[in-house]
Structure 1
Amino acid sequence: MKIAIVTDSTSYLPAELVQKYDIKIVPVEVVFDGKTYKEDIDINTSEFYDLLQSSPELPSTAQPSMGEMINIYDDLAKEGYDTIISIHLASTISGFVNNLKTAAQTIENADVRVIDSQITTRLMGYQVEYAAMQASKGKSVDEIIDGIHDLQTTTGEAFVVNDLKNLVKGGRLSNTSAVIGTMLQIKPLLEFDNETHQIVAYDKVRSIKKAKLKAEEKLANAYKNADYQLRMLVIDGDDIQAGNEWAEHLKEVYPDVKIDRSYFGPVIGTHLGKGALAVAWIKEFDR
């Protein structure tokens, strides 16, 4: 059995991992003023946030076409892969993965398993990294998928955002009424609900400092209650300094935990806006 791993660009995987495991990355598109950019191909993260600041219109996103995905699967089959694990951003924020499940049924020369990651960003990337690691060790497709589902149950996060305009406009915040007070400079804390996997506001405070403290409370509870080693993650939306400072602080609090850094690229930045921060965690899968 030869297994290929496919994901989309919102996994924000480090280039060295993509190269090491030969992971196929499919770019999601960002649309600014009628012009389409493929994430990390036509536009990088810095360029995106510059455009976000200067553009009079909020950007939108567009999923890869099913024709493009079918061609990718066919090409992988021609390269000798008989099994393909394709892991993508949550179905609660994009219809892409459900459309892909239907399209994948037309592939006859490979066994294509489409996985709803139930999340996005580097948290999804961890699922992809895990799948690639296990495939390289010769694990079966069913063993790998069971492991992905197990990882999904250990994932948690807290997002701190400055601007909810695009989340609300795009219908991706399920309890909009909970954060009407943002017009009064209230900072909402967001998460992916464990049951519905939708983005929801679970708390709100009046400053970024207090929001980060609330996020750290949630992280501390997860650390205290987990009966396994955690890996932690700090993500920033074009505020590298703030992300680095938060990560360094967490390293002092949790010296025994691996703490990674990542970023909100163009597609996710479209929804969260500039200056968003997040702390996240998942079961350590590489020890």
Structure 2
Amino acid sequence: MEKIHILTDSSADIPQAQVDAYGIEVVPITLTHEGRAFREYYDITAEEYWKLLQTSREVPATSMVTPAQFLDSYRRAFERGCTHVLGVLINGKGSGTCQAACLARSMFEEEYGSGMRIEIIDSATYTYIYGHIVVLAARLRDQGDSFEAIAGVVRSRLKRVEAYLGVYSLAHLKRSGRISGGAAFVGEALGLKPISHVYGGAVTVCDKVRGEKALVSGLIKKVSGRVQQPEKQTALLLYGDVPAERIDELEKRLLTEIGFKQVCRSPIGPSVITNTGPQALAVAFYGQARN
């Protein structure tokens, strides 16, 4: 009989209630700020981290999960009698975490042989965009689905999920060096707010809107152009330190203008907010499957 262990990294931003309810293991990404190291998910909340970014001159550094951390996880699962491990991890193009998990798998197999199957899946995306698929995998496991069936659902979902991300302020992008000071100055002077497409392992600026009020409309326009059968799915509304009225407006328009069945809100955690800045707003949804 299969005994399946589900794990992910802290960038998945899965709410603690779901982690506890479904027995999901969250391996933490480490952040370093002013000489202090702390573990995402375990040592600081998303909301606390947003405040830290806005009050600090130093941009924290993030470190990938190490092979040793994954190896310890595999050993614990094996000792509990698990026959399978399914790991769904942060975009491999943006982090070495997935590679570390694969290296640890090789180390485990050298030590224990083939007594436990370990499947590592690169989500090719970030935050709860893949976190909610990890939760789905745990639900399927608890209802008795096979390992092959669960892994198939995860891969299918990851091929179809995408997101649009809007940023209200360019100040953090300037501080972190992701855009030049000149570009930030011009952008802020013109009131430009970039929108990026999070898709297929890439985050690509695809549009710019002018003014804060236009950002929600820009997101709605982008999502409506790519979503498939919104009436059958739940939109993920992902947010940082953004005024509540903006979040409320976006949720209302996702329901009334695009016709999503429902909307699930989720705060964006430290490892992603470190790159976008705290004033970020995104919508994740299912579109056409990628080849």
Structure 1 ranges of 4+ moved more than 6 A: 168-173, 177-180
* CA deviation after TM superposition for structure 1 residue 106, in Å: 1.9
Counterpart among 108, 112, 121 of residue 115 in structure 1: 121
| Code of the aligned partner of 1:233 | L
Partner Cα distance (1:187, 1:272) in 2: 12
* CA deviation after TM superposition for structure 1 residue 180, in Å: 9.1
Distance 1:169 1:92, change over 3 A: farther
- Tell me what 2:167 maps to: 161
Counterpart among 202, 211, 216 of residue 215 in structure 2: 211
Deviations 1:198-219 (A, max 9, x none): 1110111222322321211122
SS at match of 2:160: coil
What is the identity percentage for the equivalent residue pairs of Structure 1 and Structure 2? 25
Aligned positions of 1:142-181 closer than 5 A: 142-163=148-169
Aligned positions of 1:88-107 closer than 5 A: 88-107=89-108
- Mapped contact 1:70–1:103 kept (Cα < 8 A): yes
| Code of the aligned partner of 2:117 | D
- Tell me what 1:269 maps to: 273
SS at match of 1:222: coil
Deviations 1:112-143 (A, max 9, x none): 11110111111111220121122122222222
- Tell me what 2:53 maps to: 52
Partner Cα distance (1:125, 1:82) in 2: 23
* CA deviation after TM superposition for structure 1 residue 63, in Å: 1.6
Deviations 1:32-80 (A, max 9, x none): 1221111122211222122111211111111222111111110111111
| Code of the aligned partner of 2:256 | E
- Mapped contact 1:3–1:82 kept (Cα < 8 A): yes
| Code of the aligned partner of 1:134 | L
Say which is worse superposed, 154-163 or 117-126, in terms of deviation.
Answer: 154-163
Partner Cα distance (1:81, 1:269) in 2: 34
- Mapped contact 2:137–2:150 kept (Cα < 8 A): yes
Partner Cα distance (1:63, 1:278) in 2: 24
- Does 1:232 pair with 2:235? yes
- Tell me what 2:198 maps to: 192
- Mapped contact 2:125–2:199 kept (Cα < 8 A): no
Q: What is the aligned length?
A: 277
Say which is worse superposed, 204-213 or 245-254, in terms of deviation.
Answer: 245-254
| Code of the aligned partner of 1:45 | A
Say which is worse superposed, 54-63 or 246-255, in terms of deviation.
Answer: 246-255
* CA deviation after TM superposition for structure 1 residue 110, in Å: 2.0
| Code of the aligned partner of 1:190 | S
| Code of the aligned partner of 2:31 | V
- Tell me what 2:187 maps to: 182
Contiguous gaps of at least 5 residues in structure 1: none
| Code of the aligned partner of 1:182 | G
Say which is worse superposed, 250-259 or 68-77, in terms of deviation.
Answer: 250-259
- Mapped contact 2:165–2:282 kept (Cα < 8 A): yes
Partner Cα distance (1:125, 1:202) in 2: 24
- Mapped contact 1:182–1:188 kept (Cα < 8 A): no
| Code of the aligned partner of 1:250 | L
Q: How well do the aligned residues superpose, as a CA RMSD in angstroms?
A: 2.6
SS at match of 2:107: coil
Distance 1:181 1:132, change over 3 A: farther
- Mapped contact 1:160–1:208 kept (Cα < 8 A): no
- Mapped contact 2:13–2:41 kept (Cα < 8 A): no
| Code of the aligned partner of 1:275 | Q
Contiguous gaps of at least 5 residues in structure 2: none
